[in-house]
Each structure stands twice: as structure tokens, then as C-alpha cells.
């Protein structure tokens, strides 16, 4: 049987990890919304489509995979 103090400590650690993950998830969602808005604004302002296509390499270099970038373009109205 696990001592009560160990159980409580582990429980608190798990709760804190869940809180941290939730906060990180909310931050990621906010940043994703900002990214979508930035791409849509660029499109609306006439940013060249060829530049959006060239940004794919930069995005992949920053950790996006090709499918994620394609999905971002789809959500923001780009066809590149």
C-alpha cells in the first residue's frame, strides 16, 4: 500500500502537470489564431502568392510539416 503522503504528492504533481498542459494548449490555440489571422490579412492586402509558396520551406524548417502548412493555407484562403 502506498503511503498517504506519497499518494498526495503524486496527485498534486499530476494536477500541476495537467494545469501546465492546459495553459500551454490555450497559448498554442491563441498563437494559431494569430497565425491564421496574419495569413488572411496578408492575402487580403495582396501579398504575392509566390511568396506564400516560398514560405513553405521556412515553415517546414520551423517544425511544421507539409500537411500542416497546406491546412493553414486552406483555412486562410490561399491556394498555393
Average pLDDT over residues 49-68: 89
* Sequential DSSP letters for 11-73: HHHHHHHHHHHHHHHHHHHHHHHHHHHHHHHHHHTT--HHHHHHHHHHHHHTT--HHHHHHHH
- Which whole number is the average pLDDT over 51-78? 88
Confidence (pLDDT) at 43: 92
43, 77 contact by CB (below 8 A): yes
Phi, psi of 62 (to 5 degrees): -90, 0
Amino acid at each position: 500500500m502506498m503511503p498517504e503522503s506519497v499518494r498526495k504528492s503524486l496527485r498534486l504533481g499530476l494536477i500541476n502537470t495537467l494545469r501546465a498542459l492546459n495553459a500551454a494548449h490555450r497559448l498554442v490555440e491563441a498563437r494559431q489564431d494569430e497565425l491564421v489571422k496574419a495569413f488572411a490579412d496578408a492575402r487580403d492586402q495582396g501579398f504575392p502568392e509566390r511568396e506564400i509558396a516560398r514560405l513553405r520551406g521556412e515553415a517546414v524548417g520551423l517544425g511544421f510539416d507539409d500537411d500542416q502548412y497546406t491546412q493553414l493555407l486552406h483555412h486562410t484562403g490561399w491556394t498555393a
